[in-house]
Amino acid sequence: MAEDVITTTGIAHHGAARLPSVDVDSFNIELKDDDGFLGDRASKGAFRKMLDSLRKPLKKKNGDDPLGSKPAEEISKTALDEALVGDDIHAAALVHGAIEEFAHELAYVTQRFLKTKAWADTERIVVGGGFRESRVGELAIARTDVILKNEGFEVDLVPIRFHPDDAGLIGCLHLAPSWIFEAHDSILAVDIGGTNIRCGVVETRWKKASDLSKAVVWKSELWRHADDEPTREGAVKRLVKMLKGLIEEADAEGLKLAPFIGIACPGVINDDGSIEKGAQNLPGNWESSKFNLPASLVEAIPMIGDHDTAVLMHNDGVAQGLSEVPFMQDVERWGVLTIGTGLGNARFTNRRREKNKDKDDKNDKDDKNDKDEKKDKDRKSKD
């Protein structure tokens, strides 16, 4: 029954290449070199290793480490940001050194993406993920942008606009067909990660901005599943409980919640809602052919309000990138890199050309009609 509901909702397929406002040219590309996956060279963990590597000589020489005795992975982003602007110039120098080294790695990895067929002619790249949520991350992104331009790559590298915790949820709006927004003012969204699962109610604010640029997360709930180490079934039950709680809260607030749940999930998402690969950090085996998260959610939440529930799942990197759709209308081809446990990636092409083509066709038709009318008038005047 659940499968029937999923395939007859009239929305796009899971992991679709064609979405309401963009074509998804590629996502979750896994590039490799002799040392393994390239994404591992530009992850949060890679930055921390670089920082520890720079600290080692200081510890060996006199045991004096300006960043203290904690390993880099235990130093908070806030502490690193404070070190950048603090009075201890040696601590600042260490962090700046790690930023410089990381920026060169990120530039190399970005170049490799840009040289692939799927990423050809990319004009702008948005950088999201947890790493971006710090001054250290922003400086690393800006430095990478400078390196790429110095090496002749005509591409802009910019931080994602929305808070990384919100971007994946807001991006889920762009999975939904536009007709949903005419009668509803909010949707349910889920952002699944290797450490956390975040659920939220996203207000469209469609009447203020039909391009969804004013969308906000009205309320969200976070569960750090990595601490609890649940089974796959346990994780789904907890997710359902979170969603049902948000439905009740939205109803009590008087929000017009759409019968739609957008899901951002790691990995390669098949059109039937199964996960082909890339979900190894999630609790249990999410890549099993017998497991289908969208079907499980429809079965548990068959209706939202008076309508059948529709669920659409896509890659988490794609969802983060989609939050930027309203702000990417001045370019045609653009991508997203999400720096977290790994390096998520997706490349998009806006479909404005089709709209322009329609306008051009209409203008051509109008011109033809004007010419025909002129010919008729000329003919009549001769008669």
β 333-339/124-128 pair status: parallel
DSSP label at residue 76: -
What tokens appear for 106 in the block? 């990120």
Q: What are phi and psi of 116, to 5 degrees?
A: -80, 160
Burial class (CB in 10 A: 0-12, 13-18, 19+), 323: buried
Burial class (CB in 10 A: 0-12, 13-18, 19+), 351: middle
Are 198 and 189 in contact, with CB atoms under 8 Å apart? no
Instruction: With CA atoms as reference, report the closest residue to 119 among 309, 368, 334.
Output: 334
Return d(Cα 142, Cα 147) in angstroms, integer.
9
What tokens appear for 300 in the block? 């548990």
Return d(Cα 239, Cα 142) in angstroms, integer.
37
Return d(Cα 15, Cα 175) in angstroms, integer.
10
Give the long-range contacts of residues 203-208, CB within 8 A, separation 24 or more: 203/255, 204/173, 206/181, 206/182
**Confidence (pLDDT) at 3:** 39
Are 213 and 162 in contact, with CB atoms under 8 Å apart? no
Instruction: With CA atoms as reference, report the closest residue to 338 among 261, 262, 266, 263.
Output: 266
**Confidence (pLDDT) at 37:** 82
**pTM (two decimals):** 0.85
Q: What is the pLDDT along the chain (383 residues), one digit of tens a residue?
A: 343 333 334 477 999 999 989 999 999 888 888 777 888 899 899 999 999 999 988 876 666 889 988 999 999 999 999 999 999 999 999 999 999 999 999 999 999 999 999 999 999 999 999 888 899 999 999 999 999 999 999 999 999 999 989 999 999 999 998 888 989 999 999 999 888 999 999 999 999 999 999 999 999 999 999 888 899 999 999 999 999 999 999 999 999 999 999 999 999 999 999 999 988 889 999 999 999 999 999 999 999 999 999 999 999 999 999 999 999 999 999 999 999 878 899 999 998 644 444 443 444 444 445 555 555 555 444 44
Are 335 and 182 in contact, with CB atoms under 8 Å apart? no
Instruction: With CA atoms as reference, report the closest residue to 210 among 351, 4, 14, 21.
Output: 21
Q: CA–CA distance from 51 to each of 85, 274, 341, 343, 370 (Å)? A: 17, 38, 16, 19, 69
What tokens appear for 73 in the block? 């992975």
Q: How many CB atoms lie within 10 A of CB 164?
A: 22
Q: What are phi and psi of 18, to 5 degrees?
A: -115, 115
